[in-house]
């Protein structure tokens, strides 16, 4: 957003007052032999007064510690602001108040209960899927991490390539090209599905500022390197890490990765990820054999 700035020392009201002062001095000096001198002095003091005024303008340009800075921070809520101040003004949740619309999802397959949240027109799981299936894993093979972060699924497991729960993702996996017709239920509970790239982007668009989407979706705790989010929408992304292609685990407390149902090629599929280094959200293709988290999206009413 381009912000139009006025000069901090020159405002229309100050300029009007200055010329009004000059006019008064000029009139008062008519008829006096020293009128011209008075006029010069009046102009000098008027512009000196003008240059020193307006310190309480809308834009702070002088840092209090005396150091130089080119950063200009508008006070208006309609203008560009920093990540922290912007994120505190969006969504339905703050540190002290939670007005988000929540629900509950019961997975009939194993009886697990998941918190859900409405964001825009979409209903999302507000925690990661934890349904056990072949090619799904607990971080570091520790079951307590499944309770904390949910399970990590290969893309073929997330898509239910075996076709146990639905046929849309059947046959999708590493080394194969498939063109599934969305929505793909995949490993999700009945009535829910693995989101497409477009559906992830619909979620991001609710926040509207791509520089703070990740900040607004991340949980308020658990991230290293001062990477905690503001969780403005109750989505509560925790840094669940990943299972690598060689079977090792890494990136817990630093990264959160989520599969989409969209394939890039026979070896790669698209995923969304957040990390602790900043508040951005990213979507790229990645090796299908990695173990990533799953967030399911509720099917749209027919």
pLDDT tens-digit series, residues 199-242 = 999 999 988 765 589 999 999 999 999 999 999 999 999 999 99
Give the mean model confidence (pLDDT) for residues 34-57.
42
CB 104 within 8 A of CB 113: yes
pLDDT at 208: 75
pLDDT at 33: 40
Lowest mean pLDDT among 7-11, 151-155, 212-216, 231-235: 7-11
pLDDT at 47: 41
CB atoms within 10 A of CB 153: 28
Q: In angstroms, how far is the first alpha carbon of the chain from the final one?
A: 38
pLDDT tens-digit series, residues 57-88 = 322 223 333 333 332 222 222 322 233 333 34
Whether the per-residue pLDDT at 92 is higher than 90: the answer is yes
Whether the per-residue pLDDT at 20 is higher than 90: the answer is no
Whole-prediction pTM: 0.71
Containing H/E element for 40?
helix 35-52
pLDDT at 141: 98
pLDDT at 170: 95
pLDDT at 301: 85
pLDDT at 67: 34
Secondary structure class of 147 (helix, strand, coil): helix
pLDDT tens-digit series, residues 268-291 = 999 999 999 988 899 999 999 999
pLDDT tens-digit series, residues 162-200 = 999 999 999 999 999 998 999 999 999 999 999 999 999
pLDDT at 73: 28
CB atoms within 10 A of CB 92: 16
Q: Which residue has the tokens 């290969």?
A: 154
**Band (90; pLDDT cuts 50, 70, 90):** confident
CB 38 within 8 A of CB 7: no
Whether the per-residue pLDDT at 43 is higher than 50: the answer is no
């Amino acid at each position: 957003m381009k912000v139009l700035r006025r000069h901090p020392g020159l405002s229309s009201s100050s300029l009007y007052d200055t010329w009004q002062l000059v006019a008064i001095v000029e009139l008062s000096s008519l008829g006096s032999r020293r009128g011209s001198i008075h006029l010069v002095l009046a102009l000098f003091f008027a512009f000196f007064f003008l240059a020193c005024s307006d310190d309480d303008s809308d834009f702070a340009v002088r840092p209090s510690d005396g150091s130089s800075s080119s950063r200009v921070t508008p006070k208006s809520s309609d203008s560009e602001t920093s990540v922290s101040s912007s994120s505190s003004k969006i969504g339905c949740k703050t540190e002290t108040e939670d007005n988000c619309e929540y629900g509950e999802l019961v997975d009939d397959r194993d009886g697990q209960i998941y918190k859900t949240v409405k964001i825009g027109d979409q209903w999302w799981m507000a925690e990661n899927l934890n349904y056990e299936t072949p090619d799904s894993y607990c971080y570091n093979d520790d079951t307590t991490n499944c309770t904390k972060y949910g399970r990590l699924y290969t893309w073929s497991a997330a898509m239910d390539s075996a076709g146990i729960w639905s046929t849309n993702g059947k046959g999708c996996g590493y080394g194969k090209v498939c063109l599934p017709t969305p929505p793909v239920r995949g490993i999700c509970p009945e009535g829910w599905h693995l989101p497409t790239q477009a559906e992830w982007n619909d979620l991001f668009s609710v926040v509207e500022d791509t520089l703070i989407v990740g900040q607004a979706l991340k949980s308020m705790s658990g991230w290293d390197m001062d990477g905690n989010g503001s969780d403005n929408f109750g989505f509560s992304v925790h840094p669940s890490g990943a299972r690598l292609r060689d079977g090792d685990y890494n990136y817990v407390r630093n990264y959160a990765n989520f599969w989409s149902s969209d394939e890039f090629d026979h070896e790669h599929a698209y995923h969304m990820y957040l990390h602790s280094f900043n508040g951005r959200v990213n979507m790229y293709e990645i090796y299908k054999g990695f173990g990533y988290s799953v967030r399911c999206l509720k099917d749209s009413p027919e």
